[in-house]
């Protein structure tokens, strides 16, 4: 399935913004479930309407400030419901307007919560075969998880979309041109969420609030390098932002992935540069890389202006249906 952008919508920024600003999201017969975590905190799982009666579940991991209501998550869950395949969005801690009980949050190298969620699906929902799909930062988390020895053997396939494969390059790309609009929006959300979480912990879990208090106010943060220096690095034990980028960037790790994995990247993604696209030598034999000329950041709007088609969903459905073992 070759992606061809809709006429008049080929611009990468239009591709990026259209699903958020213009898409009428399809309905999903949602069920929510509060999942306990080993450290006493919790995650919120949002299930689609199809039931996991046969043990097959598609697991979705959203982007940095996304959640189960992100257009790509709603869109794919709707399509999966149409063909009777169970799906669940694992909302990261603190995302989706829910406040958590500990200071941990999502970052590119966070894999403990992925592992906990997949184990929970195995134990509580009798999952037997899993396909995991990660978007943007969720894709970074997924790729980091797939190279770990503890990665769930239930994963029969994986897919990622628009992953910032070199975190340092991508963080600095957002300081250039129109991409600064995305930087301003995302940093505003992250800082607002941080302040809300800190106030929540101060009131209800003061013992856990200390790690936030040590960070201090977030006034004056201008870009992602500063945010990662002041928030992510101290929270998770990295020396600084560049140490975080070095340890958690997935571009050097792709050769170690053994699970059949589809990687979809757009060459015009305004969150990154072509320099982060992997070469054939950097990929393991189990990775199928698709690089589209257009698509923006998790956009991929085809069809026409009057009748847009969200190409990503049928492409992922094709991968999902072809990846589950034959019954």
Residues marked active site are found at 136, 269, 297
Quote the CA–CA distance of 86 and 109 in Å, as a whole number: 27
Quote the CA–CA distance of 293 and 189 in Å, as a whole number: 29
Phi and psi torsions of 74, nearest 5°: -60, -45
Of the candidates 178, 180, 192, 166, the one whose C-alpha atom is nearest the C-alpha of residue 273 is: 166
SS3 214: helix
Pairing of strands 129-135, 155-161: parallel
Q: Which residues contact 51 (CB under 8 A, 6 or more apart)?
A: 86
Joined tokens for residue 11 = 């611009």
CB 208 within 8 A of CB 102: yes
CB 95 within 8 A of CB 102: no
SS3 223: coil
CB 323 within 8 A of CB 158: no
Q: How far is CA 256 from the centre of its chain?
A: 20
Residue 180 has, within 13 A of its CA and on its CB side, a CA count of 6
Joined tokens for residue 215 = 């960070």
Q: How far is CA 161 from the centre of its chain?
A: 8
Element containing residue 161 per DSSP (H, E): strand 155-161
């Amino acid at each position: 399935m070759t992606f061809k952008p809709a006429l008049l919508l080929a611009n990468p920024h239009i591709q990026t913004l259209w699903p958020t600003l213009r898409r009428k999201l399809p309905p999903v017969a949602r069920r929510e479930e509060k999942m306990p975590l080993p450290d006493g905190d919790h995650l919120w799982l949002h299930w689609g309407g199809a039931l996991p009666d046969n043990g097959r579940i598609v697991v979705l991991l959203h982007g940095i400030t996304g959640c189960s209501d992100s257009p790509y998550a709603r869109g794919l869950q709707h399509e999966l419901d149409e063909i009777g395949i169970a799906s669940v969005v694992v909302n990261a801690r603190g995302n989706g307007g829910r406040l958590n009980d500990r200071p941990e949050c999502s970052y590119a190298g966070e894999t403990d919560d992925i592992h906990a969620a997949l184990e929970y699906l195995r134990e509580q929902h009798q999952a037997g075969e899993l396909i995991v799909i990660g978007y943007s930062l969720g894709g970074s988390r997924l790729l980091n998880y797939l190279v770990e020895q503890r990665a769930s053997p239930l994963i029969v396939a994986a897919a990622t979309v628009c992953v910032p494969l070199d975190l340092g390059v991508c963080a600095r790309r957002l300081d250039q041109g129109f991409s600064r609009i995305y930087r301003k929006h995302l940093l505003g959300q992250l800082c607002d969420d941080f302040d809300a979480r800190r106030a929540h912990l101060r009131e209800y879990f003061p013992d856990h609030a200390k790690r936030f208090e040590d960070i201090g106010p977030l006034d004056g943060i201008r870009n992602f390098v500063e945010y990662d220096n002041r928030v992510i690095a101290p929270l998770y034990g990295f020396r600084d932002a560049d140490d975080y980028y070095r340890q958690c960037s997935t571009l050097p790790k792709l050769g170690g992935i053994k699970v059949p994995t589809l990687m979809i990247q757009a060459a015009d993604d305004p969150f990154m540069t072509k320099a982060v696209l992997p070469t054939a030598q950097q990929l393991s034999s189990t990775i199928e890389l698709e690089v589209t000329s257009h698509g923006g950041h998790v956009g991929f709007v085809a069809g026409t202006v009057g009748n847009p088609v969200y190409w990503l969903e049928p492409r992922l459905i094709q991968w999902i249906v072809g990846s589950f073992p034959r019954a």
